Structures are given as C-alpha cells and as structure tokens.
Structure 1
Amino acid sequence: MTARRSVNRNIVVLTLAQALGAAGPPIVFSLGGLVGQRLSEDPALITLPVSLFNLGLALGTLPAGALVRRGGRRNAYLLGALLGVAGGCLAAAGIILESFAAFCLGTFASGAYAAFVQSYRFAAADGLEEPQRAKAISFVMVGGLLAAVIGPQIVIWTKGAVEGAPFAGSFLGQAALGLLALPVLLLLRQPAAERSGPRGEGRSLGAFLRMPRYILAVGAGVVSYGLMTFVMTAAPIAMVGHGHSVDHAALGIQWHVLAMFGPSFFTGQLIARFGKETITAAGLLLIAGSAVLALTGLGLHTFWGSLILLGLGWNFGFIGATAMITDCHSPAERGVAQGANDFIVFGLVAAASFFSGSLLHSSGWSMVNWVVFPAVALVVVPLLWRIGSAGSAPTLVSRTKP
C-alpha cells in the first residue's frame, strides 16, 4: 500500500471512528444534568457529571498523547474505546443503583475516552503537507454528522429501556458505541513517517508558551470550545425548566451537534480561501450571535436556533484554531504542542461546564448567555488585529524556528 493510500485509508477509518466516538458526548450533555438533578442532593452540583466528563477529557489528553507516542495511534485508540465501554457501563450502573458518585465516575471515564477521540483530528493530518491538513481535519470532523444523529436518537429510543431507571439504557447504548468502535480502529494503519519517528529534538513547551501565534490559537480553541460547552451544558436543563420536554431537549442537542459538524464538508475549503484566523474569528462571532438570539425569548425554536448558531460557531472557531496549531510546530514537536493545547483547552472547558451549572442555578439562563460576549471579545480583537497586520499564515520556516 502506498503512503498516500495509507493516509487516505486512515482518514476514512478515523471518520467512521469519529462518528461512533463523538456520539457519546451528546448523550452525556443531553442527560448528565438531568440525571444529576435527580441523583444529587445539592442543586449546585447538578452539572457535576458533565463537568467531570470535561475534566476526564482534559486529564486524558496528556496520557493519550503519551500512549500515542509509545505504542502508536491504533493501540492508544483501542484502549480509549475500552474506556468508553467502561464509562457507559459505570454511568448506567450509577443510575440503576441511584449512586451519584458512580454515575459521575462513569461520565469521567467517558470523558477520558473523548480525549482519544479528540486527537483523531490531529491524526488525520499525519503524513500530509500544510495545504492538505485543514481539509483532512475537516473531513474527519464530518464523522460528527453521523454522531449528531446517533447520540440523541439513542437518548430518545432507549431512555426508558431499563424499567425503574430512567436514562440507564441510554448510557448502555453509549457503551455499545465504544464496542462498535473497536473493529473500526483495528483497521487504522501507522503512517511511514510515524514508524520512522520524527526528526529533531524540537522546542520545549516553554518555547511554545512564548509564541504569540500559538497562544492565540490556544486561546481561540479555549473560547470556541469553552463557550460551546458552557452554553450547551445549561441548555437542556434550561429547556426542561421552562416547560419543554426531555425529547425536545435531546432534539435541540441533535440540531446543535449537526450544526457543529455539518459545515465540515466545506470548512477546510473556506480556511484555504480566506485563512485560518478569518474563519476562526467568524466562528467566534457566530457564537456571540447565538447568545443574542437566546436572549430574545424562551420558546422552543429560540432555544433550537440559538443552539444551531452555537454549533456553527464552534465548527469554524475550533477547526480554525486546530489548523492554527498545526502551523506552529514541526513533526518532532507535535506531541508537545498538540498535547499541551488539548490539556489547556479541555481543562478550562471542564471549569466552564461546572461554572455553567452554578451560574444557571444562581442567576438563570439569561446570565449564562451574557457571559459569552466578553469572552468572545477577548480573542476576536487580537485575531482581527492579526488578520489586518499579518494576513497570511506563517511558512514552514516559522514553524521550525523559535
């Protein structure tokens, strides 16, 4: 098999694995707060299961990167899928046993699986030159379209499958998704470049943290993913609290996740045409637009429309930020640069999701959306400055020198 065919095969495999792996988070996001509301004695802790999912995602990024470096992507991703199986089973057991702690442990393990799934987007760029990287990342993210349907539909069809334990069946369905991912991931092949190992020692983490472009890319990832999680964590609870059904909340998450991944068919082309910073800034402005819409009312279609805009903004913002990261490092430096990026992004995302529940409980749905505007401004302003002053992305020389 030629190197190019191996890369193309891996992109297809990763897209299918993304469809299965990314279907789990919508289940956690749709039901985590609702189950927490039922099992937790403290109203301020109702979103703790979702927060622990994001914490598992954050803490899993560095071990996932280390496992990829030591055993290759396929072995690491198979281990990740097994974590997904364990997480779904633990969460279901927590519901059946009415144990909030067990349920939280299950969502934490599910988050650790998600850390491996998140790195699929970087794996898609292995062995590709700079012009093809954004398109490959975007293509793998298309797998999220299937996930957007699979996850919420599992919620709707299985929420009452276990008698006397609402939603336990949905988390068993999440475990089944991890099982289905195992034979898919067995088809993954290690690129020749990875087998031979990257050349050069590369820069340290400190050098990256002194690089303005890297910091801006990380910041864009933090704000785009953090705000998406911040609002999405609160949205199902707010919807049910304002008279909408659980099914309507799950469908709202489905539309949201469809919007998250639907544009991936053309996001890579938009990045190639208009530039990474421009598309990232556009995504952040769409997230701000979703908050504007959410503040106009509490009707079902207002919630859904806001979640759709939120998903579109995440797609442009997060894929653009990911592409910016790949421009900041050489092959020898990818483990440090990518691992630190994901650790920072998802660590702050975990904090955002926990703060979301507390803020929703204390100040309401409107305040959750008001928080969006200063966070967006914090990153959009330097992005627009860079677009106006620098224009094009840096060359390979800038990626390999301090």
Structure 2
Amino acid sequence: MHDAPRIATPGGRGRDPSTRRSLAALFLAQAASTSALTTSVSLSSIVATHITGSASASGLPATINLVVASLAAFLAGLGMARFGRKAGMFTGYVVGAVGAGLGCVFALTHNFPGFLLGSALVGMAQAVVLQGRYAAADFVSAEWRGRAVGVILFGAVVGAAVAAGLAPLLQQVAAQSGLDAIELGWGQSALLLAVGALCIALLFRNPRVVGSETAGQLRLSEFLAAAGEPSVRLGVFYLVVSQAVMVMLMSLFPIHALHHGHQLGTISAIITVHIAGMYALAWLTGGLVDRFGAAAIGSAGGFMLFGGALLSAWETSALGIGLALYLIGLGWNFCFVTGSALLAKNLEAGIRTRFEGTADVLVWLCAGATTLGGGVLIGVYDYPVVGLMGGLAATGLLLLTGFTWSRLHQPAPAS
C-alpha cells in the first residue's frame, strides 16, 4: 500500500487542509474550462468556414489561438515565478472568459477579425489552464508528480460530462432564438471559464515551492543546460509532438467530416469521444509513468498517435473517424502526461516554473504552425495529407524515444 502523497514543502504535511482545497480548486477549474476550450477551438474551423466561405481559412482561428498561447505560456512562466501560481492562473481564466464572450458575439455577427481576437484571448487562457498540471505537481513530492499531473487532467472528463449535459439546453436556446448553436457554444465557454476563475480565487493558495525560485527571465544558457539532460529533453519533445499532432488533427477533422456528409451532432459526438480519449484515463496514466517508466508509457502513446493519425486519413465513416480521434486523444494523454512528469521530476526547483513556461512556448508554437499548415493543405489536397503528416511526426517521436532510451542505458565503459 502506498503512503499518501507528500507535499513538496518542509514537513511534507500530506493532510494539510489548505493543500486539499488547492488541489480541489485546480481539479474543479480544470473540469470547468478544459472541455469547453477544447470544444470551442475544435469547432472554430467550422465557424471560420461559415464566416469566410472558404475552407482554406479553417485553420486560422486555431493557429492564432495557439500562437498567442505560446506567448502567454512564456509570460505566465515569468509571472508565476514572480507573483505565484494563483495570480497567474486567475488572470488567465478571466482573460479567457472575456475572449470566449467576445468570440461568441463576433461569431454571431459574422465579424471575422473580431472572432480572431476572441480566439487569441482564449489562447491565453489555454496556456494558463494547462499549467495547472504543474501547479498540482508543486504540492507533492517527486515520486507522486506523475499521478498529480494525471489526476488534474482527469478533471476535463467531468467537464465533458457537464458540457454534454448542457448541450440540449444550448440547442433549445439556439432554436428559440434563431441563432447557431456553435456560436452560442462560445458563450457557454465564457461562463465555464468564469467558474474556473472563481475556483482559483476562492480556494487556491500558492504552493511554497514556487516561492523558492529566482524571479526573472530564464536565460538561454539555463534553458540549454537543463535541456541537456536527456530526460528533460525527451520530456519537451513528448509535449511538443503530441500537442502539435493532436491539435492539428482535432482542429481540422470537422472539415473532413463535413465533406463526407456528417452533421453537427455527429461531429460533436466525435469531439466528445476525442475528449474522453484525452482525459478519461489521465488519472491512471500518471501512475503508470511513475511505475513503469516514461519510455514505456510514452512509446505506447506514440504508437496510438501513429495509428490514430493514419486511421483518420483513411476513414470517412463516423465510427472510423471517431475511433481515430479517440486513439489520437489517448495517445496525446500518454505522451503529454509522460512529458509533463519528466519535467516535473527532473527539473531543479530553482528554475522549474520558468522552464515549464518556456517549454510550453515551443509546445504552442509548433501546434499553431502545424494547424495553419494543415489548414492550407486541406484547401489544396484535402484532409488525408494532414493525417499522414501526423503519422510521420509520431514516427519521429518513437525513434527519438528509442535513441534516448539507448543512450541512458548504455553500459558503463570498462575501466
């Protein structure tokens, strides 16, 4: 039987009520926001196509969202190192609520530049919301950080259930008002982000480990020195590749589904299945990383990403696309939790928050670049080319895992 998780503060008081409240706040905030954000960003490709009349613009809102998220991740890392996790996370949730509200208004009025502005502000929130996994890891000792990351990400499953429960009400309001449910869904995202902000404001306290950092920008020499550690470098690659592949395919598959005659209800159901793949087993994945090691769980995730990407390129049926998106979500889960755990376990406390924020810059930038490029490719060649790109990226991640694992386990030279 395992002992209770220990807090990463002097004394390790695992039963500290304020710590329990803080972890509950992170879980509830994650539940309130992540599903809403995932759904709204996924459907932004359809909104963009409706407004502009061109599928070539389908990837633009998600790309702007992700590029802004990269900048926000960098600033959030600096801000949280200086002012604490609470201030940074609360600010991110509030900005996201405002952005989702604006996105709803501008989508309903068919104002594309305004909708892009809303997407950009939601991107700021996405970067901050995902850093909640690191905030949870700060409360526990190193051997429990994989579990902490996974449990917080699992909150999105609760959020998906809430969003699914609200869907009939949203459809009813849309029908009665004569408005489009997709656009109104952005308003629902605004409300849920506001709930997340309240959870952080009322229940969360800063973990003391953050206060041990030296505030200020992470110097390039510090970043490169930390990234020189093979486990840290592999962790960054897991985060970057899994996020880039997942976001690209998640954001662009609705266009593929529409081209093959699937309606909004079917697309929404596939997104729900995808979210279940991303988060339903997150509570378990962290423990698997802690028990079996990063290489085993990360490789399993890489194979899932590979299979899901290729399946999404070939399949046109709702069942086939749904299975593909589930595998992509589950592969992301395994890879993303693995990467997050590798950083949380192997970075020194003095640079951890700033390094994590800087690494997330790469995560969001690469996801934005692949989504923008994928949108252009869909306009020229159609979706299967995008699926093949995802499969190639997953193959590269698997090769890197094998190379790093072999380097770490080379026999010591004979003396």
Query: What is the CA distance between 1:265 and its match in structure 2?
Result: 2.3
Query: What is the CA distance between 1:69 and its match in structure 2?
Result: 2.1
Q: What 5-or-longer segments of structure 1 have no aligned partner?
A: 393-402
Query: What is the CA distance between 1:102 and its match in structure 2?
Result: 0.5
The answer for the alignment partner of 1:106 in structure 2 is 118
Distance across 1 between alignment mates of 2:272 and 2:408: 38
Q: How does 1:307-326 map to 2 (within 5 A)?
A: 307-326=325-344
Contact map agreement 1:30 1:250 (CA 8 A) in 2: no
Cα deviation per residue 1:177-231 (whole Å; 9 max; x = unaligned)?
A: 1221122112001223334x24799971232344443332211211111101111
Contact map agreement 2:210 2:353 (CA 8 A) in 1: no
Contact map agreement 2:68 2:123 (CA 8 A) in 1: yes
Q: How does 1:136-175 map to 2 (within 5 A)?
A: 136-151=148-163, 154=166, 157-158=169-170, 161=173, 163-166=177-180, 167-175=182-190
Distance across 1 between alignment mates of 2:231 and 2:329: 25
Percent identity, please: 24
Pair 1:318–1:2, CA change in 2 (3 A) = closer
Query: What is the CA distance between 1:67 and its match in structure 2?
Result: 2.2
**Mapped pair 1:89 → 2:89:** no
Partner-residue secondary structure (3-state), 1:194: helix
Could you tell me which of 221, 226, 248 is aligned with 2:239? 221
The answer for the alignment partner of 1:183 in structure 2 is 198
**Mapped pair 1:20 → 2:32:** yes
The answer for the alignment partner of 1:302 in structure 2 is 320
Contact map agreement 1:127 1:191 (CA 8 A) in 2: yes
Could you tell me which of 308, 328, 342 is aligned with 1:290? 308
Could you tell me which of 260, 263, 278 is aligned with 1:260? 278
Contact map agreement 1:288 1:373 (CA 8 A) in 2: yes
Query: What is the CA distance between 1:159 and its match in structure 2?
Result: 5.2
Distance across 1 between alignment mates of 2:171 and 2:99: 17
Cα deviation per residue 1:316-355 (whole Å; 9 max; x = unaligned)?
A: 0110011111233111011332111101111111111111
Could you tell me which of 34, 46, 56 is aligned with 2:68? 56
Contact map agreement 1:221 1:322 (CA 8 A) in 2: yes
Distance across 2 between alignment mates of 1:212 and 1:157: 50
The answer for the alignment partner of 1:132 in structure 2 is 144
Distance across 2 between alignment mates of 1:120 and 1:80: 11
The answer for the alignment partner of 2:7 in structure 1 is none
Distance across 2 between alignment mates of 1:85 and 1:113: 8
Cα deviation per residue 1:223-278 (whole Å; 9 max; x = unaligned)?
A: 11110111111111111121011111011011100110011121122112210122
| Cα RMSD for the two superposed structures | 2.3
Distance across 2 between alignment mates of 1:316 and 1:230: 17
Pair 1:208–1:160, CA change in 2 (3 A) = farther
Contact map agreement 2:311 2:320 (CA 8 A) in 1: yes
Cα deviation per residue 1:21-64 (whole Å; 9 max; x = unaligned)?
A: 20222222332011100112553212211112212221210111
Pair 1:388–1:41, CA change in 2 (3 A) = same
Query: What is the CA distance between 1:388 and its match in structure 2?
Result: 4.1
Query: What is the CA distance between 1:161 and its match in structure 2?
Result: 3.3
Normalising by structure 1, report the TM-score. 0.91
Could you tell me which of 386, 390, 398 is aligned with 2:408? 390
Distance across 1 between alignment mates of 2:40 and 2:341: 27
Contact map agreement 1:26 1:152 (CA 8 A) in 2: no
Contact map agreement 1:26 1:148 (CA 8 A) in 2: no
Partner-residue secondary structure (3-state), 2:307: helix
Amino acid at match of 1:30: S
Amino acid at match of 2:118: G
Contact map agreement 1:138 1:265 (CA 8 A) in 2: yes
The answer for the alignment partner of 2:296 in structure 1 is 278
Amino acid at match of 2:335: G
Normalising by structure 2, report the TM-score. 0.88
Distance across 2 between alignment mates of 1:335 and 1:328: 12
The answer for the alignment partner of 2:8 in structure 1 is none
Distance across 2 between alignment mates of 1:263 and 1:233: 22
The answer for the alignment partner of 1:373 in structure 2 is 391
Contact map agreement 1:28 1:107 (CA 8 A) in 2: no
Distance across 2 between alignment mates of 1:199 and 1:105: 34
Query: What is the CA distance between 1:157 and its match in structure 2?
Result: 4.2
Contact map agreement 1:228 1:310 (CA 8 A) in 2: yes
Distance across 1 between alignment mates of 2:42 and 2:137: 31
Contact map agreement 2:150 2:286 (CA 8 A) in 1: yes
Amino acid at match of 2:388: W
Pair 1:198–1:43, CA change in 2 (3 A) = closer
Partner-residue secondary structure (3-state), 1:205: helix
